[in-house]
Amino acid sequence: MKNEAQSIEVEVVEIDGAVPPAKVEAREEIPADQSWQGRIRMLDARWWPLWVLLGAIAIALLVTVGLVIAVVFVIFRILNGIGRALFPDR
């Protein structure tokens, strides 16, 4: 077997009678004046596929509703024209 270096992981509990300072991970703090107001205006970039899908569904629904309204309007105009042709004195 080769001479391989061994590593030992240890946790320092005390150095010269004093506890070492605890590791503190830096957190990104949101300023108090921008708590929700700043976050609402900003969309998380990870969710863009969902927003694209929801936008496509919304556009499809708007187009569908518009087409239904247009068809109803055209049918009304045709029936109105037939009614005027059959009853010209009205």
Q: 27-81 pLDDT, tens per residue?
A: 666 565 556 665 666 667 788 889 999 999 999 999 999 999 999 999 999 999 9
> What's residue 53's pLDDT?
95
> What's residue 81's pLDDT?
94
Contact between 66 and 60 under an 8 Å Cβ cutoff? The reply is no
Task: Say what the pTM is.
Answer: 0.47
**Adjacent-strand bridge partners of 22:** none
Tokens of 48: 């863009």
Averaged over 1-8, what is the pLDDT?
72
Beta-carbon count within 10 A of 88 CB: 7
Write the CA distances from 28 to 31, 32, 76, integer angstroms.
9, 12, 61
Q: How far apart are the first and last CA of the chain?
A: 110
DSSP assigned state of 15: B
> What's residue 36's pLDDT?
62
